[in-house]
Amino acid sequence: MSFSKDFIWGSATSAYQVEGAVYEDGKGLNCWDVYSGHNNNTRYNETGEIACDHYHRMKEDVALMKEMGLKAYRFSINWTRVIPNGIGEVNEAGLKFYSDLVDELMANGIEPLCTLYHWEYPYELHKLGGWMNKDSSDWFLEYTKVVVDALSDRVSYWITINEAQCELGCNYGHGSHAPFEKHIESDLFIMGSNIILSHGKAADYIRKNAKKAPKIGTAPMAPAHIPLDNSPEAIEKARELTFRNDSFPFCASYWADPMFFGKFPDDIMEKYGSMIPEYTEEEWKLVTTPLDFYGSNIYFAIASEKQGEYDNIYYQGAPTTDIGWVVCPEVMYWSVRFHYERYQKPVLITENGLASADWVCVDGKVHDSYRIDFTTRYLRELKKANDEGYEVAGYLHWSLMDNYEWAHGYTKRFGLIYVDYKTQKRTIKDSGLWYKSVIESNGENL
C-alpha cells in the first residue's frame, strides 16, 4: 500500500520564529515581543526581532520551497500584525503580507495551510487577563473573522491552535514560555476551557463562512507511550497511558475529547470536576464543530515501564537530538495508530523533525546525513501506519528553515534550509534536497 496520490508533502514554520519585523508596518506587540529579551527568560536573552527576516524575504523563501519541490507550506498568522491591539482596528499592511504570501505560494503550486494561532498572544489582551478573561474566546473569534474573510477565497486548510498543551502548560504552568508565568491548577482550567472554546468558535466560523470549502483541524502535541512488546496487554497499557491525564495540560485527551466527544475525559472529571468551568449547551455545540483531520506534532516518545534501572525509551547512551529528545521512530506509528483509533479522523503530521548542530562545510554545503536518517526512519513508521489502514493525510516537516526556537533562542537548528543569522544567507541542506526526492516519489524511495 502506498501513500495516497493526494498525500500532502510539505514543511512548516510559525510567524514569530521566522518573520522578524516586529516593529514595522503597524504591527502591535505580542507577549514574545515584550518578555523574551529580559531576565534570562530566553537563551542569551535572544528575541525574534529579526529572526529569519522572512517578512522581507518572503518571495525568496517561497522560491526555495519550489526548488525543494514542496507541495504544501504551513504558516501561522501573527495576531498583532493583523490586529495590533488584539481587537479593534485592523492593520491592512499586515493583512496584505499574508495575502501576498498566499498568492506567492499558489503561483508556485504550493498549497497554503494557515494556522490561526501559534503562541503569538497580543500583549494588550494579556494586560486584560489573556486567557483568564471570559471574553478571550470572543477576542479570538473577532481575530478569526478578519483572517478568514481575507484569505478563505484561496486557503482551504485551517488549523485553529498549535499545541494548546504548550500554550497552557509551558506559558502558564511551567513558566518556560512567554509570558513566563506560573499559575495554580484552578487558573489553568479556566484558561484551558477558554482556549478550547476559542477553537470551537473559530472552527464554527470557518465552517459556516469560508469562501472555499474548508478543511479544518487543530494541531496538538501528540507523543505516545511505546508498548514494551507487541502483546495485546502491552499495547493496551501503552494506549491507556497515552491518554491518561497525569499532567492534564500536556495530555491530548484533555483537549481533544471535548472537541470530538463533547465531554472532558472521565479521569479529569473524577479528579478535578469542580475546577472545570461548565459550558452551556450552545458552547458545547461550538466546541464540537466537526473537524476534517487530526493534526499531530510528533517529536518524542514516552516510556511505558521500567526495564531494570532504565525504562524502555530513556537509558544511558540513548540516541538523542540536539534538544535532548530520544530518537524513537516507533512513536510515529504508535501515535498515529492510537490517535486515529480514538478520534477516527485522518491524521495530518503537522510537525516532525529534529534539532541538530549544523554548519556550512568547506565545500559550501550543509551535510546533515543524520537528519536524512532520522526522517527516513520516522517516515517509514508513518508508512507502516498508513499501510495498516490508519488513515494518514500528509506530512509537514518541521521546519522549513532554521529559526528562533523560543526559549532556546537561536541555539537549535531544525531546518531543511540553513540560515546564517548574521547575513541571512539561505543554504538548502542535503536533507532538503533528499526530501525533494521523497516528495517526487510520493515516499516510494524510503
Three cell numbers written together for 294: 487530526
Buried b (16+ CB within 10 A) or exposed e, 72-110: bbbbbbbbbbbbbebbeebbeebbebbbebbebbeeeeb
Q: State the amino acid at position 308 in one-letter form.
A: G
Q: Which of 104, 167, 351, 405 is catalytic?
A: 351
CB 291 within 8 A of CB 345: yes
Is residue 163 among the annotated active site residues? yes
CA distance 228 to 242: 13
Specify the DSSP element, H or E, that contains 277: none
Longest dimension (CA), the chain: 64
CB 313 within 8 A of CB 301: yes
Residue with cell 493525510: 393
Q: Hey, how many other C-beta atoms are within 10 angstroms of the C-beta on 427?
A: 18
In the structure, how many helices (H) and strands (E) does the chain have? 16, 14
CA distance 253 to 65: 34
Q: State the amino acid at position 247 in one-letter form.
A: S
Helices 252-261 & 330-343 angle (0-180, nearest 10): 30
Measured CA distances, 75 to 68, 220, 268 (Å): 17, 16, 33
CB 232 within 8 A of CB 222: no
CB 334 within 8 A of CB 238: yes
Is residue 351 among the annotated active site residues? yes
Pairing, β 417-420 against β 225-226: unpaired
Residue 352 Ramachandran class (φ > 0 left, ψ -120 to 50 alpha, else beta): beta
Helix (H, G, I), strand (E, B), or coil: what is residue 58? helix
Q: Which of 163, 167, 381, 405 is catalytic?
A: 163
Torsion over CA: 195, 201, 114, 55 (sign): negative
**Contacts (Cβ under 8 Å, ≥6 apart) of 372:** 430, 431, 434
Any idea which residues carry the catalytic annotation? 163, 351
